[in-house]
Structure 1
Amino acid sequence: MPADLAVIGLGHLGLPLAQAAVAAGIKAVGYDTDPRPVAELAAGRPPVDGSLSASEIRRMLSGGFRPTTDPAELGRVRTAVICAPTPPGADRAPDLTAVGDAARALAARLRPHMTVLLESAVAPGTTESYLRPILEEGSGLRAGRDFHLAYSPSRLDPGNRSHTCANTPKVIGGLTPACTESAAAFYGRVTDKVVRARGLREAETVKLLETNFRHVNIALVNEMAVLCNELGVDLWDVIRCAETKPFGFHAFRPGPGVGGHGVPLDTIGPHRPLRLVELAGHINERMPQYVIQRCATLLNEHGKSARGARVLLLGITYKPDLADLQDSPAPEIAQRLMELGASVSYHDPYVLDWRVRDRPVPRADSLYEAAANADLTVLLQHHRTYDLQGLAVKAQLLLDTRGASPAGAAHRL
């Protein structure tokens, strides 16, 4: 049976969208040029980042989801959504290589009246100035006249079971009003609420604002963590009290760094830089080094040197209860500890093998035994399986960078 939808890119953006579409009764094909994830999904196995379970993948397959590497499938749908990754390039701007590859594969098979949507994180203006020419030149069709073109910023929160595609409002902006309405008709089938932006650039800038909002506020609370440590103030108690304010405050919490797929943009082409975002980036990038300073200070206070110290890192993923390592601060922290001469090991229930700069890091099999033997245990990510009260009892010295341990049970960031 022909599919209604093609999701191009089966990563952290594409798979949840395909899942939501299938759950809404939409036949979907998932296209990716990498045969490995396609084969794994076709066999009913979950993605390596753990964002979906095997049972969820099997339900998708039984509901009409078909993963494929055949680009011919792209010409048989009414709607195509590009969910290609856009990691930061050398200039810190989104790398559009995968978006361009996806667009060229689609352009060769683009049909009149098709709706093309972009969800990848891009700078404002990208859909019209970069994606549109590729689609038009490859198809001979004109956007806004022969096919619909729109942008919708992804708002996925991997692992979040409360806020899903279905109940998270979807922002859309089209090249023309008709493009917007065509996109609204599709997204209205998979989500409870559709929010129409004035156009493509407004929709693209929504993603820019939302991502930069997160990074700037994390930077603020990271600076507060450093200050509160110097003042001898319990920052987590400060946040607990501050978040009782019913207006004008949104709680963020510090950590050893900022991971995830959302990349802040402090410069947009030839336009003036966003100085606050630029400064926030510098602050957040310093956090792994600050963690190292705290580690060295704690070891020194207990009569030990970082050189030769046994350090156990707990939780190395960027987000709790997921296997995703995207931009996790753990590799930099491990590398810096190794450079100081520390003997580093790790424990993470979601990561069975870990290498830092091609150097294997030993994995602790027995968590409590490893914590008892380590000179310093550092919690980098708080997975639900960790009993921090029990770990605090077993560990010789525990540094909690997430503020997740009971008050007084550990040294907090």
Structure 2
Amino acid sequence: MGRVLADLFKKRGPVRTIGVIGMGYVGIPAGALFAKSFEKVYGFQRDSSSSGYKINLLNAGKNPLKGEEPGLDELLNEVVQKKKFECTSDFSKISQCDAVTIAIQTPFLNPTDLIPDFSALEEGIRQAGKYLSEGSLIVLESTITPGTTANWAKKILEEESGLVAGRAFGLAHAPERVMVGRLLRNIQEHDRIVGGIDDASTNRAMELYGPVLTSGKLIPMTATAAEVTKTAENTFRDLQIAAANQLALYCEAIGINFYDVRKGIDSLKGDGITRAILWPGAGVGGHCLTKDTYHLERGVKIADEQSVDFPDGVESLYVTARHINDFMPMHMVHLLKKGLNRSGKKIKGARVALLGWSFLANTDDARNTPSESFYLLCMEEGADIRVHDPWVTNWPGIDVSQDLESVLSGVDAVVIFTGHRMYYQLDSHKVRELSGSSRCVIIDGRNVIDPDVFIQNGFIYLGIGRGDKNSHPI
């Protein structure tokens, strides 16, 4: 069967035209880079009320993503001007594509039931199957439950196309490995995991991604191994963050500075020594880390293999890490209450400035932002919350302001949730003047301000991991 597909790829010739389904944080930079290296790229985007606006913007060479994204504006304009990139809602043009990548979000509506919402991904896969032609390649870039490519996705593509995967068309998983704020760089420099359902699919996918890489290497494996690789690497990062968060909570309880401890741990270096430790914070957000643990856990449960040999009565280490990271917005509420209590106030009726709505510094990416969890918890407590973010201009049901001074005016407390560059420059005198309070509370969830400077200017300071400062004399 593999030989038949390999011959079809050879007959079709080299990859020239590429389709990218999903014009988001992954699809847009990927499409632009493909257009730089190949003859033609179609970016497929539904003309919906929420996202249809991207079509005209992209076809004008304009980047719909906000925030700092080095090189993307220039590259988009270049490939559009050269007529190598076109965004369209006409999915029938998939029939013209030698390869089609699909990058669509795969959230969990309720992580505890381990059932992902694949509805949007399914729509994209069905569109690809409906129009795919013999000898084409379909690549899933979305992070998915292990086993999805070779089973669920394969079945849908075959149903829609009437063709057989591995014989008439290729199918692979090549997970994205990008961080907002460095999209182009990540796609070009990170090694690319490529897993086909067979050798012919893997080899064709390597032809697709090879020209885009600058310093990154291609790492071939099976489709399911690629799915496990992606979910596991994000699970491990989430685990590392949870370890830092738990240590920060310990340092607060003991009354010491987490950052001193971290520096000490990090100083141990040598052959075979690995003591890497990440940073604690107000919570973990984004589309990946908040869900990929559950994809990995689900993959184990649905695999038609032997059961996992694991200690009885012990919850998954990875799921426990998720619970710790999900707890951090609540911890921020606890710090806020403690600070307000020291200032002689209660959280009910307190005026609070929440600084940062995106989950990632210097971007507009607010998917699964921990700021929202904190906001809702404070609203339940009766607090009056104002939100500031320099990049996020709107959010359903939330008034997000770009006017920092108005948000800080007359507040009882300032809570820093995102490490935006501008928050590092907060002036204690100016903030105190705007607040109008001699005992304004400031809660630092990202270690962006110097506590001593604010304490000396009359603030009541509390910060994650700052047990040495959280009970400072007033």
- After TM superposition, is the score higher than 0.5? yes
CA displacement at 1:340 relative to structure 2 = 1.5
Pair 1:280-2:321 in alignment: yes
Pairing partner for 1:381 from 414, 418, 433: 418
Distance 1:366 1:196 in 2: 46
Q: Structure with the greater relative contact order (CA < 8 A, sep ≥ 6): 1 or 2?
A: 2
Pair 1:411-2:462 in alignment: yes
CA displacement at 1:25 relative to structure 2 = 4.3
Deviations 1:333-353 (A, max 9, x none): 112112222111121111233
Could you tell me whether the CA contact under 8 Å between 2:401 and 2:407 is conserved in 1? no
1:366–1:172 Cα change, 3 Å = closer
Matches of residues 255-270 of structure 1 in structure 2 within 5 Å? Answer: 255-262=281-288, 263=291, 264-265=293-294, 266-268=297-299, 269-270=301-302
Distance 1:149 1:392 in 2: 60
Partner SS state of residue 221, structure 1: helix
| Uncovered stretches (5+) of structure 2, i.e. residues with no partner | 1-14, 433-439, 454-460, 465-474
Pair 1:128-2:150 in alignment: yes
State the match for 1:210 in structure 2.
Answer: 233
Partner SS state of residue 240, structure 2: helix
1:105–1:161 Cα change, 3 Å = closer
CA RMSD, 1 decimal: 2.3
Could you tell me whether the CA contact under 8 Å between 2:193 and 2:221 is conserved in 1? no
Matches of residues 204-353 of structure 1 in structure 2 within 5 Å? Answer: 204-246=227-269, 247-262=273-288, 263=291, 264-265=293-294, 266-268=297-299, 269-270=301-302, 272=308, 275-353=316-394
1:350–1:301 Cα change, 3 Å = same
Q: Which has the larger radius of gyration?
A: 2
Corresponding letter in the other structure for 2:61: G
Distance 2:68 2:59 in 1: 16
Pair 1:138-2:143 in alignment: no
Distance 1:85 1:161 in 2: 16
Pair 1:18-2:31 in alignment: yes
1:5–1:254 Cα change, 3 Å = same
Could you tell me whether the CA contact under 8 Å between 2:241 and 2:325 is conserved in 1? yes
CA displacement at 1:364 relative to structure 2 = 6.4
Distance 2:325 2:441 in 1: 25
Partner SS state of residue 188, structure 2: coil
Corresponding letter in the other structure for 2:449: S
Corresponding letter in the other structure for 1:170: R
Corresponding letter in the other structure for 1:148: G
State the match for 2:181 in structure 1.
Answer: 159
1:51–1:385 Cα change, 3 Å = closer
% identity of equivalent residues:
28
Could you tell me whether the CA contact under 8 Å between 1:169 and 1:194 is conserved in 2? yes
Corresponding letter in the other structure for 1:28: V
Distance 1:347 1:385 in 2: 11
Corresponding letter in the other structure for 1:292: V
| Uncovered stretches (5+) of structure 1, i.e. residues with no partner | none
Distance 2:138 2:286 in 1: 26
- Structure 1, 391-400 or 298-307: larger mean CA deviation: 391-400
CA displacement at 1:401 relative to structure 2 = 0.4
Distance 1:392 1:181 in 2: 61
Deviations 1:323-342 (A, max 9, x none): 11100011121121122221
Corresponding letter in the other structure for 1:336: L
Distance 2:209 2:61 in 1: 26
TM-score when normalising by structure 1: 0.92
1:361–1:108 Cα change, 3 Å = closer
Pair 1:399-2:443 in alignment: yes
1:173–1:67 Cα change, 3 Å = same
Distance 1:183 1:103 in 2: 17
